[in-house]
Structure 1
Amino acid sequence: MEIVEHIIPEQQQNQRIDKLVSSLNREWSRSQVQEWIKLGFIKVNGQTVKPNYKCSTDDRVTITTPEPEPIHIEPEEMDLDIYYEDKDVLVVNKPKGMVVHPAPGHSSGTLVNGLMAYSDHLSTLNGILRPGIVHRIDKDTSGLLMIAKNDFAHEKLVQQLVDRTVTRKYQAIVHGNISHDAGTIDAPIGRDPKDRQSMAVVDNGKHAVTHFHVLERFSSFTWVECKLETGRTHQIRVHMKYIGFPLAGDPKYGPRKTLQTDGQLLHAGIIGFKHPRTEEYLEFEAPLPNEFTKVLDFLRQSH
């Protein structure tokens, strides 16, 4: 448990206490700070306040950060959609709505829970919370993932990601009608300075490149395939928003008026890599999930 004190300077007066405190530490999310305020871990001038309290100059903010609760991972039997398996590698098709690995608030029902029940052989290089996990896709993104069954395979697969030799192709439905048939978005991605829980194109961000081409156009939506050259957090979602074509159904980066879906319409349909031991190139393709195809049918009928 750590105690942090902060005296409000004049330039921070009238800011909401939850927004101000979350800006003090990159690791503190605004929702987490709001919970701390409600539990009394954050006080102003020794008094408890509400998350919407407006700070005054010279207010003394005391932040008592609670100890994080330990996460215990238990194997859970799941009907995993396995596309390939040998002694080194698994390729699994993750359904939409499933978190890849445990984290605070998601200690069960994750892909890792299922993998631990499925196999006793998973790499350890990513720590006890991420056995076998080489790369991730978002909770509401469906599609294919490489899973390492030992540390040798893990290192080889990670190196291919670093070298940008892994084939990763996604399909998405975006708002707007893209007039040109193909394009490349080369724009750095980092934390959004206005919202620390989101990513954005920022000058000091990490190099990020997305290639896309149009598969089909509708009156106010476009079906595209995106190929990742780099793999930044939320890369396709951020890049498509940046060029003015945010993903349909995306609650974080898309418009409020959108198609009725459970999260963004994004599917990691193709993955290709060299086998870590034999160096044979392997490529796998997972068909679009039902929700995605139903939306396409709806757009064709409407169009």
Structure 2
Amino acid sequence: MELSIQIPQQFQEQTIRELLEQEWLVPRKVRHFLRTRKNVSINGEPALFHFVVKAGDVVTLRFEEEDYPVPATRCGDAKYVEVLFEDEQLIIVNKPTGMKTHPNQPDECDTLLNHLAAYLAPKQQLPYVVHRLDKETSGAILFAKNPFVLPILGRMLENKQIYRRYQAIVAGDLSKKQFTINKKIGRDRHDRRKRIIDERKGDTAITHVQTAEVQMTHQTAVYCVLETGRTHQIRVHLASLGHPILGDPLYHSKPKGRLQLHALELHLLHPFTKESIVATATPGLW
């Protein structure tokens, strides 16, 4: 596999080592192989790690076949893919409600990853999962299009460099216009599907909530922004306040209809071009 990336104009001169380590957040193991195999070039000329990169330069990285084994071709149907943003490195799509993000069994074919693989097959590309949405949750979701950019996007997610804004409709009337839920989340020992508030053993979980200007009777429309990304985080946090999300089959006592949770927006700065990407999954819940 070979990747050629043009350095953007607003780029500050730096060495190949600094570019890979600090700018592109390339994992140490990958940097080691690139250096020892001398698999880096600038504008078509072989380059060592102390060479300087400037705006407008084209940096090419070459990977051996054993570095990134190609996964088996996955079944799927491209017609289920709604693209919100796409370039050579990444793709953001609008996931329908009721569809898994990825298969859990080798013979599963009806997940978003399957359908995205079918969509990318003519381009000889493959999707790689950066993060996931629950099966019942709809909206914007990000995938890498090659295994090199996958850990870079994963690191950006960990470093809170990817902004995610959700819509939800909850039971009851929320009086506060804006607030933050900071409650640790852990596994439910009695039901492996569920998560619970567990301040003693749970993982830190922070959700920012803002009520929307939508008039509803005994229901409240809210926007949620994740600061952390725990399983079922928004669902568990809102339910812990006595305001479960409507249609939630796990955390609402009388769920009706689909889960009213939608990943409306996904923002990030492109790791290579520094382009500001804003993907909006419309129409959303309101």
- Please give the TM-score of this superposition, normalised by the length of structure 2: 0.69
The aligned residue for residue 152 of structure 2 is 156
**1:114 & 1:86 partners in 2: Cα distance?**
18
CA-to-partner distance for each residue in 1:176-227, whole Å, 9 max, x for gaps? 1000101100111110123222111112111110001000352310000000
Q: Which residue of 2 aligns with 1:205?
A: 202
Q: Aligned to 2:236, what secondary structure does the other structure show?
A: helix
Deviation string, structure 1 residues 222-268 (Cα, Å, up to 9, x no partner)? 00000000111011000000111100010101121x5x313x10000
Contact 1:169 1:271 in 2 (8 A): yes
For 1:218, the equivalent position in structure 2 comes to 216
The 1-side partners of 2:107 and 2:243 are apart by 31
Partner of 2:189 in structure 1? 193
C-alpha displacement at 1:152, in angstroms? 2.4
What is the distance in 1 between the residues matched to 2:221 and 2:278? 22
Which residue of structure 1 aligns with residue 230 of structure 2?
232
AA of the residue aligned to 2:114: N
Q: C-alpha distance in 2, partners of 1:151/1:198?
A: 31
Query: C-alpha separation between the residues in 2 aligned to 1:211 and 1:146?
Result: 21
Tell me, in whole angstroms, the C-alpha distance in 1 between the residues paired with 2:105 and 2:243.
32
The 5 Å alignment of 1:1-303 reads 74-79=74-79, 80-104=81-105, 107-119=108-120, 120-122=124-126, 131-202=127-198, 203-215=200-212, 216-256=214-254, 258=255, 260-262=256-258, 264-289=259-284, 292-293=285-286
Aligned counterparts of 1:140 and 1:147: Cα–Cα separation in 2: 19
Q: Distance in 1 between matches of 2:226 and 2:188?
A: 21
Range moving further from structure 2, 144-153 or 264-273: 144-153
Q: Does the 8 A contact of 1:88 with 1:276 survive in 2?
A: no
Structure 1 residues not aligned, in runs of 5+: 1-71, 123-130, 294-303
1:278 positional shift? 1.3
The ranges of structure 1 where at least 4 consecutive aligned residues each deviate by more than 4 angstroms after the TM superposition are none
Identity rate of aligned residues, in percent? 39
> How far apart are the structure 2 equivalents of 1:106 and 1:173?
35
Match of residue 43 from structure 2? none
Q: Is the 8 A contact 1:187 1:207 kept in 2?
A: yes
SS at match of 1:196: coil
Q: 5+ residue gaps in structure 2?
A: 1-71
Would you say how many aligned residue pairs link Structure 1 and Structure 2? Answer: 209
Q: Secondary structure at the match of 2:165?
A: strand
2:155 aligned counterpart, secondary structure: helix
Letter in 1 for 2:204: H
TM-score, normalised to structure 1's length? 0.66
Distance 2:177 2:102 in 1: 36
Compared CA separation, residues 73 and 197, structure 1 to 2 (3 A): farther
Contact 1:97 1:141 in 2 (8 A): yes
Report the Cα offset of residue 170 of structure 1: 0.3
Contact 1:168 1:228 in 2 (8 A): yes
CA RMSD of the aligned region, Å?
1.7
Please report how far the alpha carbon of residue 280 of structure 1 lies from its aligned counterpart in structure 2 after TM superposition. Answer: 2.2
Moved more, 174-183 or 216-225: 216-225
Question: What is the distance in 2 between the residues matched to 1:105 and 1:251?
Answer: 26
Distance 1:106 1:192, change over 3 A: farther
Cα distance between partner residues in 1 of 2:215 and 2:139: 23
Which amino acid is 1:81 matched to? E
